[in-house]
């Protein structure tokens, strides 16, 4: 309900606000989701969207052993933070609440990360101690790929290295490919341009018996060095 000029509105259309991205705007409802997950560093953040005040929270993180929790809107609003095993708990001894926001609730440190990390057993409560229905975001599983920027198949989106890095392109220009130049100078040709004499682009032909000769040496039955002069002399399939 505040009044200001258009230039004073932030990305969430709040007068004098500091939001620069629409993703920071408070959405309807309540939700918790994972963000900034870094298994190698053992860190992640919990993003909370809350359309009204939240006076306490508790959740489990499956797939990790939690070693600490700090920061975010929880710490900014004077919440006590406690962790144990896979659990994170936040509340205020002075009755303060986290006002409506769409921001990092808390930063979590962990070890013993497994392949999949999920938020489970979420409990949010209001200032009256009533439980708030909330949605939980998707589990995290790393995007594997080559993380070495010097590799020809470097994947800028990869979060965990899968050992697939390659550093040489084959003759077809494929990174890490196995195509090679054959004896006839053809890339990935597999010597398919050699004739039956082993000559590149030669004129040798293989007859019906598997022998090799030139066209001029084939008889009327296509036998190398044969003496048939009329196709009627050639052996036909079957018996008669």
Tens of pLDDT, residues 20-29: 777 778 999 9
Do the beta carbons of residue 193 and residue 186 sit within 8 Å?
yes
Q: Long-range contacts for 73-78 (Cβ within 8 Å, ≥24 apart)?
A: 73/48, 73/98, 73/101, 73/103, 73/104, 73/105, 73/106, 74/98, 74/105, 74/106, 75/106
Phi-psi region of 218 (alpha: psi -120 to 50; beta: other; left: phi over 0): beta
Do the beta carbons of residue 172 and residue 69 sit within 8 Å?
no
Alpha helices (H) along 8-147: 72-76
**pLDDT for residue 22:** 75
Q: Which residues pair with 175 in a beta bridge?
A: 169
Do the beta carbons of residue 102 and residue 24 sit within 8 Å?
yes
Query: Rounded to whole angstroms, how far apart are CA atoms 155 and 175?
Result: 12
**pLDDT for residue 55:** 97
pLDDT in tens, 136-185: 999 999 888 999 999 999 999 888 888 999 999 999 999 999 999 999 99
**pLDDT for residue 24:** 79
Q: In the sheet that 87-91 helps form, which strands lie side by side, from edge to edge?
A: 80-84, 87-91, 56-62, 118-125, 131-132
Query: Rounded to whole angstroms, how far apart are CA atoms 176 and 229?
Result: 54
Q: 0.95 cut: is pTM over it?
A: no
Kindly list the distances between the CA atom of residue 4 and the CA atoms of 8, 18, 20, 24, in Å, as whole numbers in the listed order. 6, 14, 17, 20
CA 148 to chain CA centroid, nearest Å: 15
Query: Rounded to whole angstroms, how far apart are CA atoms 122 and 126?
Result: 14
Question: Which stretches of the chain drop beneath a pLDDT of 70?
Answer: 1, 13, 19, 240
Q: What is the CB-side half-sphere exposure of residue 193 using CA atoms within 13 A?
A: 11
């Amino acid at each position: 309900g505040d009044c200001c000029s258009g230039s004073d509105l932030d990305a969430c259309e709040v007068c004098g606000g500091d939001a620069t991205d629409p993703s920071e705007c408070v959405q309807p409802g309540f939700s918790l989701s994972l963000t900034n997950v870094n298994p190698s560093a053992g860190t992640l953040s919990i993003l909370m969207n809350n359309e009204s005040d939240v006076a306490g929270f508790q959740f489990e993180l499956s797939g990790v052993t939690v070693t600490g929790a700090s920061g975010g809107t929880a710490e900014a609003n004077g919440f006590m933070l406690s962790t144990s095993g896979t659990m994170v708990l936040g509340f205020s001894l002075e009755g303060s609440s986290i006002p409506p926001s769409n921001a990092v609730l808390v930063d979590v440190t962990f070890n013993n990360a497994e392949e999949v990390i999920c938020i489970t057993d979420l409990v949010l409560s209001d200032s009256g101690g009533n439980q708030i229905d909330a949605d939980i975001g998707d589990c995290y599983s790393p995007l594997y790929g080559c993380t070495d920027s010097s590799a020809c198949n470097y994947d800028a989106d990869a979060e965990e290295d899968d050992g697939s890095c390659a550093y040489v392109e084959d003759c077809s220009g494929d990174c890490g490919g196995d195509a090679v130049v054959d004896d006839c100078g053809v890339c990935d040709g597999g010597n398919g341009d050699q004739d039956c004499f082993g000559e590149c682009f030669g004129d040798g032909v293989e007859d019906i018996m598997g022998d090799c000769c030139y066209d001029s040496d084939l008889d009327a039955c296509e036998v190398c060095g044969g003496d048939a002069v009329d196709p009627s002399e050639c052996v036909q399939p079957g018996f008669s």
